[in-house]
Amino acid sequence: MFHWIYETFGNDLGFLRIFHYVTLRAMMAGLTAMFFTFLYGKSMIGFLQSLKFKESVRNDGPESHAAKSGTPTMGGLMMIVSLTISTLLWGNLTNPNILLLLGSAIAFCMLGFSDDYMKSVKKIKGGMRARTKFLVTILIAVTVTYIFYYISGRPNTVASKGILFEITDLFLPFFKGPVLTLGVLAVPFAIIVLIGSSHAVNLTDGLDGLASGTVVIATATMALLAYVSGTPVAANYLNIPYLPGAHEYSVFLAGLSGALLGFLWFNCHPAQVFMGDTGSLFLGSTLGLTAIMLKKEILLVILGGIFVAEALSVMLQVGSFKLRGKRIFKMAPLHHHFELLGWSEEKVVIRFWIIGIILAIISLSTLKIQ
């Protein structure tokens, strides 16, 4: 809205030019989302309780988790509402990728909501049928990916504005320039990234503040990467792809970071609310889609190393048990393994946050170490 006000009245009212600056709008988006989450957080938690949207703890989980049963879930609604408000207020809505990011987030949020509703209200064990959930996830991912490649075309490849590349090129961290042109394989690759990232964050959401804390580190880092990727001078200096309009993604990501921080206020131990699949699916898919848009798909493996480790621990555990009849970890996902080793929940969460910060620093260092 404020960007539209600037575009419409900026020439006549000079003071409105302040809304042209992405940095200001990004900061305001973050503060706005955080403020709204704080503002209606308690009311939303009470509303979720009144509707009996409550978490059911797995029977085979750590004994310490028994007390979590009955905690309100679907807290992802708090974040998606705040994110939508901040994006509509501060985002450049003439940028189609901003609308795509928001639309994708809402779609995955609704998928997660449906799953949570079946588990907490309908009392259907496991929620939505795995096959149905997977098919809907693929449908959303295919739609989002198709729209992105349809509206993207070829980006500006002027040498003075960053390195030459094609939209289907693949980049590796610490390597200068693209290492491979995926061509038509770029579409299925992007779909895998979207689905993989959404479910990896979903698996990470098992301890108070774990997913929300690690995701906010990743989204804040992505916001910085988006800003430099969309700034010609920065892209040329860092010798990275220049992506026109990508700096606007930082407004969206800052809003998401603010919403996450506001949610973390209520989600830290002992949690007053859980995000549920309503939150985790859209958070993970947003990270994946942003990585695709910024040509940072492989870098996401480093930046989201916590999520990758959580997902791998589940795959290794299941594979090992089916093939050998033995488990590698005491329990999967990985955070439960450390709990059963004797670590307190707070220790696991804080140490995972620390690792997330280290991975974020490594990810940012790839901008110059090439």
Bind-site residues for Mg(2+)? 202, 277
Whether the CA torsion 244, 147, 191, 277 is positive or negative: it is positive
E strand or H helix that includes residue 181? strand 180-181
d(CA 146, CA 252): 21
Alpha carbons within 13 angstroms on the beta-carbon side of residue 311 total 16
A 10 A CB-CB count for 369 gives 9
Listed residue (104, 80, 71) closest to 258, CA to CA = 80
| Of 200, 218, 217, 202, the residue nearest 299 (C-alpha) | 218
Q: Which two tokens stand for residue 199?
A: 């479910």
Q: DSSP code of 125? A: T
Both tokens assigned to 81: 């509402």
* Buried-exposed string 273-298: b where 16+ CB fall within 10 A, e elsewhere: bbbbbbbbbbbbbbbbbbbbbbbbbb
Locate 123 and state its tokens: 């009392």
Task: Report the Cα 369 to chain-centroid distance in Å.
Answer: 25
Enter the DSSP assignment of 170.
E
* Phi, psi dihedrals of residue 166, rounded to the nearest 5°: -110, 155
Cβ neighbourhood burial of 363 (10 Å; 0-12, 13-18, 19+): buried
Q: How many helices (H) and strands (E) does the chain have?
A: 14, 2
- Residues in the annotated binding site: 202, 277
| Contact call for residues 127 and 277 (beta carbons, < 8 A) | yes
What does the block give as tokens for 158?
């002027």
